[in-house]
Amino acid sequence: MKDTVLPACSDADRKRIMAVIKFGTFLALLNETIINVALTNLTSVFAVSENTVQWLTSGYMLVLGILVPVTAFLIERLSTRELYLASMSIFLIGTVFAACSMSFPMLLCARLFQGLGAGVMMPLLMNTIMVLNPPEKRGAAMGSALLIVLFAPAVGPTFSGVVLQLLSWRWIFIIIIPLAAVSVVTGWLFLKNVTEKKRRGLDVFSLALSTVGFGGLLYGINELCLSSSGLSTGAAALAAGAAALVAFVVRQLKVPDPLLDVRVFRSPMFSLGMLLITLTYVIMFANYVLMPMFMQSVIGLSVFATGLAVLPGGIIVAVLPSIFGKVYDRRGPRVIVPLGFAVMAAAALLISRLGPSAAVVTAALCYCLVMLGIDTMLSACQTNSLNQLSKEYYAHGSAVMNTLMMIGSALGSSVFIALMAQRQRSAVSAGMSAVNAASGGISFSYLIAAALAAAGFAAALFFRKE
């Protein structure tokens, strides 16, 4: 098939293109959380510590955080088809190596290789939505895409929990291999190009600053929050990352062909939208991590039962985003975005009041309420933010958005685990039982999440169309 831009996009073409890219994005995002429930098992399989094994998830997110800022360049430099096929082929190779891993370093390298392929998929999906759909239909299109964005990481623990109940950890990756192969084949057969390639050079110095900046930021957050012995290393990485990010932003404003055009922040509504999206991802990934811990450590459920208990939340995020996207197309963001934050705040506050005697159904319903709040506002927030930009800035806006989503995800998982662990250690030192200490730590973390959601509600009152 020739690598030419699709001259006119029919409904059938649009559906095929979006179906292919959505499927690849689903696999990439499923892979974010698919290994989480297997980490305890892998500590004994490879004889490594808990701090070491968590790099299977943190390292994957670190690669995404480093790669995503470069995706604006890749989207403009390569055709849609070239970029998709290269990304999913790399992801497939990484998955094969993960399934065959005989040591922890090999598995970690395979996970990083998976991340290298997966990192471009979210920005590519967002950019394609903006190019293929007129403004009055983007809310519904973004809501349909959020079915993938929210459902995949939510259902990852359920999927891997079922697999581990029946098979070994390798099957988590073995099952993904044919699916990744299908994504490559369907991309080759059905994907067409929707953007013009630009002949632009790569600013190597900007790339280096971006890598050190975003990589240092995410690595520093991880070390400060999750490593008991890495405080000085984490602080140094965070400082180096912050300094590199400042230099990166200054350089992007000076070079004629920026790697990531930060001028998108000149739009006040885009900037506010990025703040709201980052807060949402902090709360969402905190919920992904804390609720399974609550169900296992406090209520006493097995890994398999926990996976089933959080499944309704995954079903909610699969069903509702397209509905709320259509509401945005009709009504705009003024009501729907604050409403979403209000639901999140109320649900997190309810969870903070739960204890060891809480029923599983109650905890699962509260988890669903948090996901409902996220569903309510996220597609509207993303669509309204990108709608502030002209077409030439879509790729850069998508890259900025996905970079902040990665940072929010890292903060949500790492910082909230640290908050919970610190509170839990203090409670144990005071003579509290392990179960009550875990309950208190998780309740405190959800109280902080409720406060963040309340702050998001206040900021969302100023969010509007322009």
Verify that 113 and 238 share a domain, yes or no: no
pLDDT digits (tens, 9 = 90+) for 101-150: 999 999 999 999 998 888 888 888 878 887 787 777 777 777 777 777 77
Give the separation between CA 90 and CA 79, rounded to whole angstroms. 17
377 and 231, same structural domain?
A: no
Q: Write the DSSP symbol of residue 193.
A: B
Residue 4 within a domain: no
Confidence category of residue 5, pLDDT binned at 50, 70, 90: very low
- Beta-sheet strands, E only, within 251-356: none
pLDDT band at 466 (very low <50, low <70, confident <90, very high): low
Cα–Cα distance for residue pair 123/405, rounded to 1 Å: 11
Shared domain check, 240 and 315: no
Confidence of residue 228 (pLDDT cuts 50, 70, 90): low
Its domain, for residue 173, covers 11-202+259-460
Q: Are residues 285 and 242 in the same domain?
A: no
pLDDT for 344? 92
In a domain, 277, yes or no: yes
| pLDDT at residue 186, as a whole number | 92
Q: What would the pLDDT profile of 9-60 be if each residue is shown by its tens digit? A: 667 777 888 889 989 988 988 887 788 777 777 888 888 876 677 778 777 8
Residue 6 is assigned to a structural domain of this protein:
no
Confidence at residue 349, expressed as pLDDT on a 0 to 100 scale: 93
Structure-token pair, residue 450 = 């409720």
CA atoms within 13 A on the CB side of 75: 30
- Whether 224 and 335 map to the same domain: the answer is no
264 plus 225 within the same structural domain = no
> Over the stretch 310-330, which tens digit does the pLDDT of each residue have?
778 777 776 777 677 777 777
Do 323 and 410 lie in one domain? The reply is yes
Give the model's pLDDT for residue 229.
57
* 81 belongs to a structural domain: yes
Packing angle, helices 80-99 and 11-33, rounded to 10: 30
Q: Is 254 exposed, middle or buried (0-12, 13-18, 19+ CB in 10 A)?
A: exposed
Q: For 118-257, where are the E strands, in sequence order?
A: none
Residue 5 lies in a domain: no
Rg, the chain, Cα only: 21
State the pTM of this model. 0.79
Domain boundary residue, one of 218, 241, 258? 258
Residues 155 and 240 both lie in one domain: no
Percentage of the chain surpassing pLDDT 90?
A: 16
Average pLDDT for residues 378-406, to the nearest whole number? 81
- Is residue 8 predicted with pLDDT exceeding 60? no
- Domain end point (choices 221, 239, 258): 258
Count of domains forming the chain: 2
* Mean pLDDT for all residues in the chain: 82
Examine the domain organization and report whether 169 and 61 are in the same domain: yes
Residue 248 domain-assigned (yes or no): yes
